[in-house]
Structure 1
Amino acid sequence: MTFTPRLNHLFRILLKNTEPVSVSELAALLNTSKRTLFRDMENVDSQLHAYNLKINAKSGVGIRLEGSEQDRDRLAQALLSEEEPEPMDKESRRKRLILEILKNQSVQKLYYYSNLFKVSEGTISNDMDVIADWFRKNDLDLSRRQGYGVALEGTEEAYRRALSQFIYENISREEYWEASVGPDGKPAEEIDVYPLLDAKIFNQVISALKTIPSKKLERFTESSRFRLVIYLSIAVERIIRQKTISMEPDAIRKLKATEDYALADTVADMLEDSFRFKICDEERAYICIHIKSAKQKYIDKDPDDDFYIDHYELIRMIYRMIDRFDPEQAQELKTDEVLLSGLIVHLDPTLIRLKHNMAIQNNMLEQIRTMYPDIFEKSKNAAQVIWESYGFAVPDAEIGYLATHFGAAVIRMKERKLQRKIVTIGVVCASGIGISYLMSSRIKNTFKSDVLIKTYAQEDLAEGSPPDMDILVSSFPLKDVPYSYLLVSPLPTDEDLEKIREEINRCAYVEAGQFPPETKSGGSSGQMHKTWDMAESIQSVLSQFEISYTDENIKFAELVNQASQRFGNSDANRRLIFNDLLAREKISSQVVFDYQFALLHAKTGGVSKPVFAVILPSRPPFCSEYLQNAVLAVVMLIPKGSDGKENSQMMGKLSSALIEDEDFLNALKSGNRDLSYTKIQEILEGYFTQKIKELYL
């Protein structure tokens, strides 16, 4: 006899308990209501009759399965012969129902879905009433006619959009990226929505896209790259099934006149070569739309776009949105250059998405609604301007992103009215990396938004006027420095932090109007050079990253020599690295006892590109008394030269993460190169994104 999934679970629970189980507890375990539980149990005795068992339910006591041990064993064996059902509440069942309807290319009777989910046709019919709204939002009609069955009706464009939307709503992009990296990733067949997306096609699209050299693709945010790969994978599968998409010739002609169409052509040609089929102009036009709608780290406007708003028209619309967001504070908000530039960058691709009814995922939406309901509602009012101006309805996911821009501006506005300024703390290190960044992390985590941390190498502290900072902190005595500083431990103690707090309070309060204006220096050419240099340095760190092993009994000087031999490309450079590492160590020890790692770092002329690497003892920990039971040594080298400060900041981000990100440190300790590489890439991508914002916004 086959039982419904819920009864299967109910019997398993009762078989494990010889005493009565309360109705409340059973309902909670089955993830259902008491009423539904009683309804499921109406005819349960007839189903248990074959096993000489029956249900004994007593009000105020609970439910118990009665019968001999032999008969209970027979039921247990029968349940074991069935595949253990996956617990499924109505929300999960409805999500699965949407999935099954999207999968089916043919009409199906209600009985088909009723049998599939082991529930009544009445329950499935009620589910259909609920999920019909989801399909309507995606411009599809869930058609149900008596004697005919259930089918989806709508355009091919709407169907593809619904497929994409379901994937965005129900799976994180990390799972698909993991599925595409190879045998160590999660098999794509195990991903929940695999039936909607062929894993082989998905992986092939990723591989093919990597062959396209495009600055614009490189500027895509991670979520936009994911969206493009998902759309292309769906498009390829539909083309293979000979499902065509349509577009008005005039719209195609306008898109062909834009710069992005050339990139869409390149992508389409790549897909043709990879999958051995032809891609028509309509498909190429839709690829172009997806490229235009992608969120980017920064953007270049193209006046030939099919939907182009010139700079001044966009600013006027943004001013109207600010007026609608908060009429009383609008005038002050309009002076916030960060808000204006942020909305300009954000709204360009947003308007293209809205024009073409393309959904976007916002994983922070519920959190924004819950934590900042007032900001969200005001942002909804501001979004109404877009509807009034262009007739584009703005979904909640997009409003959530607008709320982050407006919310940050409101916070900045409140801070400007305070009489307390942010105190700049300079943290000094002999080389400008390493311990200074570990100190920075401890200080920043303690004082948070009250302070701005800047790191300095000793050579930055030239005689004369002090750098632009309020407090100077060092972990070692400074020579020939003509101004005061605080001497603290490499990882500041509570006593050290209290001394810093006193200095912060002394410097923080100033008279109104004394806050220095924020300025940005350097032209676009300089910014481009900095961007290129950063990207090149990050690529160098990633390409040279390695994990090596050494004898656990190695002495400190031998460990330094091993690092020098590995990363110096000549005898002269190896000597430079060795001497610079030892010179840095003489200033203060870089063994961080609390976190079990040694930090071998220096600015040196022995390398031309920054280096980040790990040396592990074959049998941890290191036995040398000097290394204090460290379980890994981290090697960080930056070249001397004009880019020293930028490289110091980048490498400092990694050294900060050793303290702030436990997963990163554990990955390095594990010796798993792929996991460590992924974490380094994640940290450096975050650093790169932040620096781009500083340069361009």
Structure 2
Amino acid sequence: MNSRWMEILQILKTAKEPITSSQLSTDLQVSSKTVRNDIQALNALLQNHNTKINAFRGKGYTLETNGESSLQSLLQGAGDMKEIIPDEPGDRVNFLVERVLLDSGYVKIEDLADELYISRSTLQSDLKKVREILKEYDLTLNHKPNYGIKVNGSESKIRYCISEYIFNLKPAALEESHDWLAALPENDLSIIRNSILSQLREHNIVTSDVSLQNLTTHLAIACKRIRENNQVEIIHEALYEMKDTKEFAVAKEILQDIEAALDVSFPENEVAYLAIHLQGTKLVGPNHGKEKMKTVIDTEIQMLVKEIVNRIDEKYHFQLSNDEELLFNLSLHLKPAINRYKFQMNIRNPMLEEIKTKYPTSFEAALIGSELLYEKVGIYVDEHEIGYLALHIEAAQERMKRASSNGRNCLIVCASGLGSAQLLIYKLKDRFGDTLDIKGTTELYNLPYQSLSDIDFIVSTVPIEDDPGIPVVRVSTILGDSDVDQIERLITKDTSVIEQYVHERYTFLNRQFESSEEVIRFLGNVLMKDGIVEGDYIDSVLERESYSPTSFGNLVAIPHPLEPKTDSTFWSIVTLKKPIQWEDKLVQIVFLLNVNRYKKDDLKPMFHSLVQLVDDRNFVQQLLQCRTYIQFKNKLGNR
């Protein structure tokens, strides 16, 4: 069974509804014909395991099994096969990276070609990609005649690459049996993990499961490399600074436990190297009070966090600057984070994709934090770290939401005097209760001077000609049934997405493009031609993409500029004839977000509406089938 067959089975096994061949071909990046051939071959194999793949015309494929344990044993057996030969180019490259990293000596070219059943020229093509990957870690792949190829570079960079590329490429669960874990016997891994846990408990140290997994991985790699006579080089100044820290003392005790149980000796440099890893964990216990814990946070860190939150508030109007819990939690997180990146210690965020999809506004806000870290500390953090910052920001917004009224905020504009305004207030309160928070009343001529930063919509008894930047509900003073329906839709956030964000002029269906940049430039040029955006618009969108790709999976990308640059909020949309590669994901439908520069805080409801639309895999496929704007608009409206 090859890797693609296994992936087909895993997709069908977890699917809650039929999966079409076009969906499978997109996920697997092969043609629909290849998918059909694979399924035909798979069914022949599955006959012996009480399982079959059913095909339903017009709906797709489902997996039917009369013996779950039999199927599971098939999948487990295939996954455990060390001798399984990668047959796809991408799989071969991953195999080769792992092979040369985990082998300290030279590996002969002819041996690799024979092992993979490929020609020498094909292998050389794959090795070119391997060299490109290693170059990202300041490593090279040297070739020595009659010996073979070998990874060259500093020991710390080699270990970083092993951990970052191999470990983070695999699934997160530590208990799963990965090929790289075969570098050490299972009993050795158990000793390493138990030694870490024992010392963490003894020193009252709390760390996350992910950090524990990272530490175990680091020590597994260290044991293997030391046994092969490879040791890290620590600059004397850094070693001297580490010796008096709590982390150094804890690292020394962990390694003493491992030395006593395993046949390996850790020099002082390795103790310091582990101590630096420990600096990337929270060295505080659960019983430490907040005031006591504040003493371990540097004043510089606290000032940096305040500046980060202030800048986020300036852009997004979250009003989080006085949230002491957010300031404290971010400070506690950034202290070890800065140490991690100072010494190039990788961290993995297993929730990254979900954070980007479910909390896009908080992720965008966290990007501001990453920019400031680079400005002030000279540290460039990756998506995984940005994802953790986003969680803190999202949690702060949830606290604020719960602390405030559960209702939506409105302002009443009434031209017929205080009595009529009061009558309207009483009617609204009687009808909507706590779900509507009336912030005040104003006359039409005073409306331009009112602050609308915390107002969700306006209820007006008179027409408002100038767009205030937020929804307006025109009602009569006596509040009829149709008026009530309009307000209810706003309170439940059931506003018309079509009317608000989608316009025929900026909707392009079934187009042909080859790259993400080509799509962005096309949409940006249309906006520039209409005089809606300025000349720096396209560069701003591309710069935002460079920080973190906006491809969210499910064939959808949601690019946008770094700063709001339009006078209204709307989407520019493109659907594509064929999916294109957008960084690490395939994309076939693009929503370019344009946000009102004068009403920046409407970014979150727009993201919320969009995520709801594109989160449904089948619905995305239905949108891709649309050939006219009317079809597209009706499909969105009928969702």
TM-score by length of 1: 0.44
Q: Whose Rg is larger?
A: 1
